[in-house]
Amino acid sequence: MKKYHKYLPQAAAFLFLLTLGIIFVVPLLWTVLTSLKPEVEIQTLGYRFFPVQWTLENYVDVISNTTSAPIVRWFLNSVLISTTHTILALIVVSMSAYAYAKLEFKGKNTIFWILMTTMMFPTVINLIPLYNVMRVLRWVDNPLALIVPGLGGVFNIFLVRQFMLGIPKELSEAAKIDGANEWQIFTRIIVPLSRPVLTVVALFAFTGTWNDFLWPSIVMNSIDKMPLTPGLRLLQGVYDIERAHLMASAVVSILPTFVIYLLVQKHFLTGLSMSSGVKG
């Protein structure tokens, strides 16, 4: 009786997780299965979970489309935009966070406080004027419009600063005695020690840019310059009721994320708890 009582919570938890887990996996599984069906099969045979005849022709069609829905091109655009943004964000964020965490200067607390307060500001108000800034800079329909504006964000600086505050003073002081200047202390001591938090920033910056939907659909209008995320919406119009083609495109768009996730899953999970922990 005692033993039964001990395992009951775990068994109940398992059943609960299993049920929801199945619900979570079914859409992805069905998307993959549908993408492997010939288009006619969906139209004529009615509902089936598994394909009767397995085919890769939808993938061939979707990938070889280079005009109305150039999905490979979009994918490469996204890689370029997200990677450039991530590298620049790491530089800008770590420099700034270092100054707020470790250096003394006049106005430091005031500037930092102003930046923190603006985090509450609803960004929906910025959208229309930001488009105007892009027009003035002649960045409309230019990848720079997707790479640069996000670098002005504040949250990552806060996150990295909190981490850097935890690095013992003695380390940089010892380096100073050895004749290192601020830049050397920053690049050789602080940045290497901040690797865990910078990994998190890199992941946030990369996925944030990759998944951005509204802003790129406003500021980019040439089909061949689109990133993948807003591009997929155009695809809805191109393939319309060709469901297997739509599903194949969905799989093509999900697969890279899925692979990256399997590789660096741990960092994503620590990153999230890190970002909530500092507030809690």
Residues of span 89-128 touching other proteins by CB under 8 A:
91-93, 95-96, 98-100, 103-105, 108, 111, 115, 118, 120-122, 124-128
Which residue is it, tokens 């009786």?
Answer: 1
Q: Which stretch binds other proteins (CB under 8 A): 65-73, 163-171, 191-199, 227-235?
A: 227-235
Measure the CA dihedral 211/214/219/225, to 10°: 40
Residues 6+ apart with CB under 8 A from 117: none
Single out the residue of 210, 220, 225, 226 in contact with other proteins (rule: CB under 8 A).
Answer: 210
Instruction: Tell me the closest approach of the beta carbon of residue 4 to other proteins, in angstroms.
Output: 15
Surface-to-core class of residue 80, CB atoms within 10 Å of its CB (0-12 exposed, 13-18 middle, 19+ buried): middle
SS3 string of 59-86? HHHHHHCCCCCCHHHHHHHHHHHHHHHH
Single out the residue of 73, 86, 90, 149 in contact with other proteins (rule: CB under 8 A).
Answer: 149
Based on the shown chain and the rule CB under 8 A, indicate whether residue 179 belongs to the binding site for other proteins: no
The CA distances from residue 280 to 63, 199, 211, 274, 277, in Å, are: 46, 21, 27, 10, 5
226: phi then psi, degrees, rounded to nearest 5: -60, 145
Based on the shown chain and the rule CB under 8 A, indicate whether residue 201 belongs to the binding site for other proteins: no
Based on the shown chain and the rule CB under 8 A, indicate whether residue 135 belongs to the binding site for other proteins: yes
Q: Which of residues 250-269 bind other proteins (CB under 8 A)?
A: 250, 253-254, 257-258, 261, 265, 268-269
Based on the shown chain and the rule CB under 8 A, indicate whether residue 189 belongs to the binding site for other proteins: no
Q: How far is 169 from 177, CA to CA, in rounded Å?
A: 13
Tell me, by CB under 8 A, how many residues bind other proteins: 96
Q: Which of residues 41-70 bind other proteins (CB under 8 A)?
A: 42, 46-47, 49
Give the gyration radius of the chain's Cα atoms: 24
Q: Which is nearer to other proteins, 21 or 166 (CB)?
A: 21
Q: Which is nearer to other proteins, 76 or 214 (CB)?
A: 214
Q: Which is nearer to other proteins, 24 or 54 (CB)?
A: 24
Q: Which is nearer to other proteins, 113 or 183 (CB)?
A: 183
Based on the shown chain and the rule CB under 8 A, indicate whether residue 196 belongs to the binding site for other proteins: no
At 64, list the tokens. Answer: 């070889």
